[in-house]
Every structure is written in C-alpha cells, then in structure tokens.
Structure 1
C-alpha cells in the first residue's frame, strides 16, 4: 500500500521518543530534587506546548507541502528529546518541556493527517495499526530506557544518542512519504487545494467535540500511566529503578499488541463494542494499580490500562476525519481536546498525589476509563460520514 510503511515508521519514531523520555522522568526528578507537586506542575508544560501547536499544525499541513511539514516536525521532536535532561534548573526544565510538548503535538497532527489520507486511499481501517507502530516504538524506546537506567547511564547521554538515531530514521522515512497526488485531500496537498480552501482555525463542530471528549478519557489514562508509572512503582511499591522503568514497558507492550490486532477486532465487532470493552479493561487495570503494593500487581495493572485504551484514539481520529470535509481539520480539533487536555494528566495526577496520594489519583483514572466506555457511541461510523 503506497505510503503506509513510511508513515508507520514516523509513528514508531514518535512513540520511541515518548517512551525514551518516560523512563527517564525519575532521573530528571532526582537530579533537580523535585517533589510530586513540582514535578506535576512541570509536566503541565508539554500540555501547554501542545495546545499552542496543534491547531496551527492542522492548517499548516493543508497550506504547505504535507510531506515536508511532517518530516520537519518529527525531526524537531527527535531533537527536542534532549532538552529536558539538559535543563539545569526548574525554570529551564519547564521551558524545555514546553518546547518538547509543542513539537510533539504538531508532529502528532501532521503524521495522523498523513495516516488518514493513506487509510482513505486504501478503503479500509489502518489507523489502529498505525498507532500500533507508535506503541511498538514506545515499547522499544522504553526497553532501551530500562537498560540505560539499569546501567546507571546519565540520561543526557542516553537521550542524546536516541535523538540522533531517531532524527536519522525520521528523515529517511519522510523522504518516502507519498506525494500529494498519491494521498489526495487528506494529506493537504495539491488535490485538497484544488477542490476546497484549506481549513482555518475554527470552533469545532458538536460531533467533533463529542469525539474529542471520548478521546480525552483515553489520553488522560495514557498520559497518567506513561509519566507516572515509573514514579508510582518507586514511591508506592518501593521497586528498584530498573523495575520501576519496566512498568511503562508493560503498559506500552500491551497497548502495542492491542493496536496491532485492533483493525481485525474493529472489523469483527465494530468500534462501539471495541471501545466499551476497552473502557472496562482499562478501569479494571486502574483499580488494580490503586490497590497494588507489589510490582507483581502494579505492572499488570498498567498493562491492562494500555490494553483497554489502545484503540480509542485511532478510532477517534478516524471518526474525526469523517466528521468534517478536511481530515486535518478534524484531527487537529480532536487532538487539541484529547491530547492537549490529556497531556495535562501528569500535572493533574501530581497535584492530586501532593494533596492526597498517588493511589487516589489513579482512582480518578479508573473513573475516566468508565466514562469513555460509556461514551463509545460517538464513534459509530454511520453518525459521522462525510
């Protein structure tokens, strides 16, 4: 299928950058001697950056060459991976995370717009598989992070080396992205500009808002698990640094597996039933995390969260792409609601942990998982045909 492999590689690069960063959060916290409240506040910075970057990114991929925009943003994200570990103070850490979140959010919108275009050309669901590639990348990045943490490797060296590798891979994949004629309107190329004006920043429609709210619950659980799983095992369970880093690996592995088979499951039972079952599994996993006091209970709990939320965001993006004339416009709106607000999850978790406890914070995660399961009807394809 033209364009599928290079887009999948870019998803994997994006995931590997996130996975690498997640495993070194405890190192960054220890280096700057941050308490849960300060760490949580710092982890609000990526959300702020993403909120600023996502809406213009959705318009940019339509107004400019989508391939170049996507390649540039993914490359910038790889470079930004080095910034948090280099920050010598709390103020500079906040700035580094703001930049990190901005390029991550813009790259996310761009690569998902490319994926929707390839999906439309194929005429069948591939979005879950694309996000599966993201999860595989996240798992690979986190595994390398576990090894680096176990070896006591300085995070500045580890993340710097990862940035170089991911930059080289992303540049090679971006050069193989299909041109505008191959991808059509969804990629924001010449075909889109010939038939309609590119989308501008606008208030999302009601269907897009509902889809975004469903996605928000899943992304909140993802952000909470990704950024706090290692800290949870260190502080609540008393695990070693290497074992604590493995919590994110289990989460990412379960999410990758579910996404790689997700397109088949969706084809068999439909998106609504898939998301409802996922909500139940994720809520069960969050509750297991709440009561866990050993790694043998906590790691499977995070894995169940990953398994349950796996297909929600791919289905939300696919529904958003059908809800408006331009896929990029719908994706940018849903990404801003779900990812922008969901990226605030680490900060919110930190605030609750500071006021109460980390187990109490993950009780909120369980509640939100139940919520997105109940709202699964918004992703029904018949409701959002273009």
Structure 2
C-alpha cells in the first residue's frame, strides 16, 4: 500500500541540506573542544586531583544521559531544525556559564558542563536524524563524513585553544567568545535543513510495513547502543585524558599537551572522512571490528610504549575510535519512521560511555597512574568487536512487500544494474 509522501527535495536542496548538516556538526564539535582545550588551566585553577576531575567530567555526560530518553520524542514532535535552533542557544549559554565560573565562581563550571551535556544530548539526536534523511537521499554511506565535520570542529577548537594558551589569552574570554559565535551562527546554517516532513520519509516511494517492536524491546537496538557506548568511551577517554597524560608522563608544557589532543582529534577526523570507503568495502560489522582493533592497539602503544611510539598510538587510537558512533547511529536510523526514537535509544546508551569512561579512568588513575588506566579502552574495544554484527541492516519484516523503508526508488527507465547501484551502500553489508 502506497502512502502519501512529502514532496521530494530537489538535488540542489539535498546538497544545501548536506552542507548545513556539515556546518551544524562542526559547530557541535567546536563547542565541546573549546572548553576541553583549556582543561589543563581549569584543573590547575581548581586544584583538581584525578578523581575530582573525573567527577567534573561526569557532569557533562550525566546532563546528556538525563535528557536523551526524551530526545527522540522531542525531535519527532518539533523536527530537527527547530530543535537545533533552540539547543544552539542553550549550548552558548552553557559555555558562557563555564567561562563565568572559571573567572568568578568555580561551582558554576560544573553547572555549565551539566547544561552543556543536556543541550548536546538533544543536538546529537536532532542533527543525526537529519543527517540520516540526507544520507538516504544521497544513496550511499556518508554518515561518517558528517561526523568528520564534527571532528573537524573539534580540531579547530583544540588548535584555537592551543593558540589561546600560547598567547596567554584568559580562559573566560576565549570560551565566552566561542559561545556567542555558536549561538548566533548555528540557526543561520540550519535554515537549509530539509523540511521536517522529508526527514521522516525514506524516499520518493513509501510502502507501509508491518509494525516492528519498540526500540528498547528490539534486541538489535540495545546491542548497537552498546557498540556506541564502547566507542564513545574510547573517543571520550582520548578527548579528556590525552593532554593530561602527555603532560604528566612526559613532563611537557600545557601547550604541548593541547597539541597532542589536537593530533588525536585530527586522526579522528581522518578516520571519519575515510570511513565511507571502509564501510563500503567491509560492511558495517567488518568496519567496526577493524576500527576496534586499531583503537585497542593504539591506546596500548600510547599508554605503555616508549615516547617515539606515542604519535603512532595516537593516530591508531583516533582513527579506530572514529567510526563507531557514526556507524552505530547510521544503523539505528535505517527505519525513518522510528529513526528519532531508535537514535535516541542508541545515543542514550552510547552516552553512558561518555558518562562512565572518564570517571572510571580517573578512579583507576588514582590507584595506579593515568597511562595504565587508559587500557580500559582496549577492553571495551574487545567487547564492541563481539557485538559488531548487530549493525547489519535489519532483515525484511515477514510479509513486507519490499525493503523500501530505506531504499531509493529507481526511475522508470533504470535498468536492474542501475537499480542496484542506487541502493544505499549500507544496505549491501554482509
């Protein structure tokens, strides 16, 4: 049975929507990296030991975990565009609170980080749902490249932070200026998002399929969420602890530690930009297993190897950690009717990696040292590799006329070979 569909966007509108998605992802990355790049100064000013610092980092992740169960409902109700517009302002307010807290009243730093986690929880789901709609219309795996824009934003934020640190620019004005820019610029970019009605459809033709289990009751969705959790912990551990590990282990300056953090983020960006090639060749499960192996080897080299092996470890760790979250969310958004809710579930579970990873490493570091504590990342990567098969496209529902819930309908003149070429690459996973 063919249901009424929203008018299909033109190729120009799809291209504009893709550019807007890249921009919004980059702004989100810039927001997170801006405050993280000044973490050594925040640690020094607040005189934090590893356990206390881990608890401070917990605030941002807890803020995201608290709201993520509601994020799917909110994005479904208000649409990606309006959600992004609202939370961009909230992100600006939260970074402003961090800046004021550093300068005037340190408890405000924790409150600002909690608010930042709350805002980015909604932002993550909204922009990912829109990115999945664009990906379906492009007809191939591009989700990792959207996340590469996020990583590029983090690299820009880290490099800017290194410059601000080297130039001795105070933390407050640096973070506050970025906060204002994000709050003003993001809604301008989001004007080119695809219409909200388009984000909820799979393509030119919609065929109604039988009801599927609710996301929490579908075993595949929580399993994908656990994969996201492991990779989120790997990425979060690198973002939060690499600069401090370099400073403490090798007795370098804060600027050098921040540059090591920027190198890690550059590796993440490279891994995500090359991600579609890897996913197209290996399929989602194979790409996730290869990424997990690279991250595990990389963190071991960085934590235990001699100083010359550190850069190689950073590159392997970063490129390996890069693919997990975008591939998991792309798998969760296969079904456009339930994309917001499934992405919300997967992101909720994944954020537990951001929430639990940094404090866990902080507690372990208090007993041993920071570098050996990072090996928990290698253990998580082993678990992710065992669950990677859940990222395969779901099999067709019995008695469903066709898997058109996430396919691109060919033009009437297309040959069978052309029809196969138009299928999204992620649907050809083995």
TM-score w.r.t. length of structure 1: 0.91
Q: CA deviation at 1:253?
A: 0.6
Would you say 1:371 and 2:371 are equivalent positions?
no
Asked which structure has the greater CA Rg, the reply is 2
Aligned residues: 377
For the Cα contact (< 8 Å) 1:22–1:248, is it kept in 2? Answer: no
Once the two structures are superposed, what CA deviation does each residue of 1:264-307 show, in whole Å capped at 9, x if it has no partner? 2211221122111111110111101211463x433432222110
1:251-270 matched pairs, under 5 angstroms: 251-270=264-283
- The RMSD of aligned alpha carbons is 2.4
With over 3 angstroms needed to count, the CA separation of the structure-2 counterparts of 1:181 and 1:63, relative to structure 1, is: closer
Q: Could you say which residue in structure 2 is the equivalent of 1:122? A: 138
Q: CA deviation at 1:186?
A: 7.3
Of 59, 72, 76, the match for 1:62: 76
Local SS of the residue matching 2:375: helix
Q: CA deviation at 1:375?
A: 2.2
Query: CA–CA distance in 2 between the matches of 1:357 and 1:156?
Result: 30
Question: Which deviates more, 57-66 or 174-183?
Answer: 174-183
Of 365, 373, 376, the match for 1:353: 365
Q: Could you say which residue in structure 2 is the equivalent of 1:171? A: 187
Local SS of the residue matching 1:375: helix
Q: Could you say which residue in structure 1 is the equivalent of 2:426? A: none
Of 22, 26, 32, the match for 1:18: 32
Q: Could you say which residue in structure 1 is the equivalent of 2:342? A: 330
Q: CA deviation at 1:90?
A: 5.0
Unaligned runs of 5+ in 1: none
Q: Could you say which residue in structure 2 is the equivalent of 1:6? A: 20
TM-score w.r.t. length of structure 2: 0.82
Once the two structures are superposed, what CA deviation does each residue of 1:67-99 show, in whole Å capped at 9, x if it has no partner? 111221133223322322322455333222111
Local SS of the residue matching 1:344: helix
Once the two structures are superposed, what CA deviation does each residue of 1:175-208 show, in whole Å capped at 9, x if it has no partner? 2212124434479xxx99xx99xxxx97452111
With over 3 angstroms needed to count, the CA separation of the structure-2 counterparts of 1:131 and 1:328, relative to structure 1, is: same
For the Cα contact (< 8 Å) 1:217–1:342, is it kept in 2? Answer: no
Query: CA–CA distance in 2 between the matches of 1:54 and 1:241?
Result: 34
With over 3 angstroms needed to count, the CA separation of the structure-2 counterparts of 1:314 and 1:65, relative to structure 1, is: closer
Local SS of the residue matching 2:327: helix
For the Cα contact (< 8 Å) 1:47–1:101, is it kept in 2? Answer: yes
Unaligned runs of 5+ in 2: 1-10, 397-402, 406-430
For the Cα contact (< 8 Å) 1:43–1:344, is it kept in 2? Answer: no
Local SS of the residue matching 1:44: helix
Local SS of the residue matching 1:381: coil
Q: CA deviation at 1:382?
A: 4.6
For the Cα contact (< 8 Å) 2:225–2:345, is it kept in 1? Answer: yes
With over 3 angstroms needed to count, the CA separation of the structure-2 counterparts of 1:130 and 1:229, relative to structure 1, is: same
